[in-house]
Every structure is written in C-alpha cells, then in structure tokens.
Amino acid sequence: MAILDQGPPHYKKMLPPIVEENYGKWKYHEIPRPGVLKHVGESGAALYSVRVGTPRLVSIDFIRDVCVIADEYCDGYLRWTTRNNIEFLVSDEAKLNPLLEKLEAEGLSVGGTGRSVSNIVHTQGWVHCHTPATDASGVVKAVMDDLYEYFNTMKLPAKLKMGLACCLNMCGAAHCSDIAIVGVHRTPPRINHEVIRKGTEIPSLVASCPTGAIRPDPKNKSVIVNEDKCMYCGNCYTMSPAMEIYDPKNDGIAILIGGKTSNARTSPSFSRMVIPFLPNTAPRWPETTEAIRKIVELWIANANDGERVGEWVERIGWERFFTMAELPFSDMLIDDYIFSRETFRTSAQFKY
C-alpha cells in the first residue's frame, strides 16, 4: 500500500556538503564566465554552479547521462533551475575546467547566466495538450537555436527572460516575460453536434464560456455559439471535445513584449502585444524566429546599459518602439477588455 500524504522528498538529503555547511551563509557571487556562477560563503568556501541548457522534455537516458557527469565532477549533486536548466554543483575548483571540457565534449550547452537569454519557460503544445494553438518545444527549439549566441555569452543589455504558452491558459506564465510567445486560436469552435448529443452536459458547457457566447439549442439538442462574442479561448473545448477549437489554417502565434517579474529598479509589469499573429510555419517557424531576432537586435542596439526590454520601451515610448521596429500598429493591439481604460493615452504627451 502506498503511503498517502508523505510529501516531497526532503531537500536536505539532496544538498551537497558545501551547501549544508554554508547554508544561509553565502556572502556574494561572481560570474567568472558565461554559464558559471561562483558563490562564496562567509567561511570563504567557493561553490561553482555550471548551468546547462536542456530541452526540458527529456528522456530518462538523458537524466542518467547527466547523473554520470554529476557523479564524476559534483560528488553526485546537481539541481534544476526555475527555467529548467541544470546546474552542476562543483565544490572542488579543480574539477571545474574538466567538467566544462566534458560538457563541451558531450555537446551540452553552457550559458544562461547574467546578461544572457536563458531557457524559455514553456509548455506542452502538440506533444501532450488538447487545446494548443501551436507547438511548444518546437518553437522553443527554433528560437533558442537562433538566439544561441546570446545564451552562451553575456553581451545583452540585461537578462532576457522569455516565455511560451501554447494557448491562452498560459501555462508558461508568459504574461510577464521580456518576450512572450503565445499560441492563439483565431476562430470560434466548430461544433460537432453528434458528439454533443452523445453525452455532453449542456449546462456545464454553457457555463464554461467566459463571455457567455454559448447558448443551448434545445431543438437541436445541442448548442449555438454567438461568434461575435467568442474570444477563442478554448475553455469550451476543455469542457467538451465537441467544440473543436483547433484550426490549422488560422492558429498561430502572437508576440508580447516588455514584461518582467523582478522588482529590481521598476515594479513587475505585464507583457504587451506587439504582433497579433504569426503563422504556424512548422517545423521551424521562421517568421517567429525572425520577428524575435529583430526585436532583440533593436533592443541591443538601443537600450541603455542594464535596461530590460520593457524598461527600454517604456523609456522611449511604445509609439517610438513601433516606428523603430517597423511593426504595423493595428486596432488589434488596442485593449478592449476589462482594464482597457488604463491603457488609453489620457495625456497630450506623446511622440510622433
């Protein structure tokens, strides 16, 4: 019989001795080279963390390979980061360079520290979810390949934190990212009346729609969608597979930028939509990688030292950003939802 409610494995069992000894007594850190953090304790002890990018979706063989490396260079200790990178925890400075060589040899990617782009927080996509408007892992792979030179160096103006969510549920919590890649459906669900009649709970289905776009159609023993009210959120599809929300022709990607969650300097902020749609050009989404690269290069060329994407855009003004980025501005980018009013320019101050 399984033990219920025993909780997670105890973290204390997972800490390397150097962490136990210096627990809560770290004094400062340095970044001796991209991908390597050096944390120094009050005791003078130094811990090197070597950060390695992963596709997040990994096989057990990958994990076992990683364990082999950790055993050899890290006394068997390692961790993952909040962005799904691995950190090899090296307490013996002598093992640092050998480890780096080993990683190089294995083709693993060291980077993601300091002023770099780190792994993209992302989601399931076509691999495992039922409402995706795009794939997750594939887009991430294409974008990270393209931005690789900014992963293994630290030559950006500031950290670049990206997120991807394959539908509006935003499991990638992309809504506060420097650059957010969001899968969007753009057409109302097609109703499979057969499937509905076969056993969908119509009241629950009606209730699932946040905009009240679905109403019962008793005659037909099915439902009707008011297409003017639908915002393609896919909530109804989660309720019933009869509400086919996927649409290969029209599904795709929106780009939002300028969000952050740290409180450093400026308060956390939401990402804002700058491109309402890019096509799902699998397998490598060239329109998406190109659009992102353009924004990143513009930011590099124009931001002040240390300025996150959003801090830069807010300083120069969004109207200026659209000009500089040569991105078309359209009514789709103007908010028309609950908190729209705060986005309207209630000021005579603006740039042309």
Partner 1 sequence: MTEKNTPLLDELEKGKWPSFVTEIKRAAVKSEAAGELLQVLERSYKERRGHWKHGGIVGVRGYGGGVIGRYVDEPQTYPNVAEFHTVRLLQPSGWFYNTKTLRTVCDIWEKYGSGLTNMHGSTGDIILLGCKTEHIQPIFDEFSEAGFDLGGSGSCLRTPNCCVGPGRCEHACYDTLEACYNITNEFMDELHRPMWPYKSKIKFSGCANDCTSSIARSDCSVIGTWRDTLRIDQDAVKEYAAKIDIKAAVCDKCPTSCLTFNAETQELSVKGEDCTRCMHCINVMPKAIQPGKEKGATILIGGKSTIVQSAFMSWVIIPFMKMEAEDDFAEFKDLMRRIWEWWDEHGKSRERIGETIYRLGMTKFLNGIDVPPVPQMVFRPRANPYVFWNQDDLDRSGTALDGSKL
Bond before 98 cis per omega within 30 degrees = no
What residues numbered 299-338 form the site for a copy of itself, per CB under 8 A? 338
Minimum CB distance to ligand SRM smaller for 81 or for 343: 81
Other CB atoms within 10 Å distance of the CB of residue 49? 21
The smaller minimum CB distance to ligand SF4, of residues 15 and 129, is found at 129
Q: Residue 348 interacts with a copy of itself (CB under 8 A)?
A: yes
Do residues 343 and 335 touch, judged by C-beta distance below 8 A? yes
236 binds, among ligand SF4, partner 1, a copy of itself, none (CB under 5 to 8 A by kind): ligand SF4
189 binds, among a copy of itself, ligand SF4, partner 1, none (CB under 5 to 8 A by kind): ligand SF4
Nearer to ligand SRM, 29 or 186 (CB): 29
Write down the least CB distance from residue 266 to partner 1, Å: 7
List the one residue from 165, 256, 275, 303 that touches ligand SF4 (CB under 6 A): 165
Q: What are phi and psi of 194, to 5 degrees?
A: -50, -55
| 189: contact with ligand SF4 by CB under 6 A | yes
Instruction: Give burial (CB, 10 Å; 0-12/13-18/19+) of 10.
Output: exposed
Q: Min. distance of Cβ 47 from ligand SRM in angstroms?
A: 10
What are the contacts of 310-317 at 24+ separation with CB within 8 A? Answer: 310/178, 310/257, 310/258, 310/259, 310/260, 310/266, 310/269, 310/271, 311/158, 311/260, 311/265, 311/266, 312/157, 313/257, 313/258, 314/258, 314/266, 314/269, 317/350, 317/351
DSSP per position, 111-152: ---SSSB-PPB---GGGT-SS-SS-SHHHHHHHHHHTHHHHS
Rounded to the nearest whole angstrom, what is the least distance from the CB of residue 163 to ligand SRM in the complex? 7
132 contributes a contact to ligand SF4 by CB under 6 A: yes
Residue 214 binds ligand SF4 (CB under 6 A): yes
Q: Which of residues 258-287 bind ligand SF4 (CB under 6 A)?
A: none
Query: By C-beta, is 11 or 107 nearer to ligand SF4?
Result: 11
- Catalog residues that contact a copy of itself under the rule CB under 8 A: 263, 267-268, 338-339, 341-342, 346-349
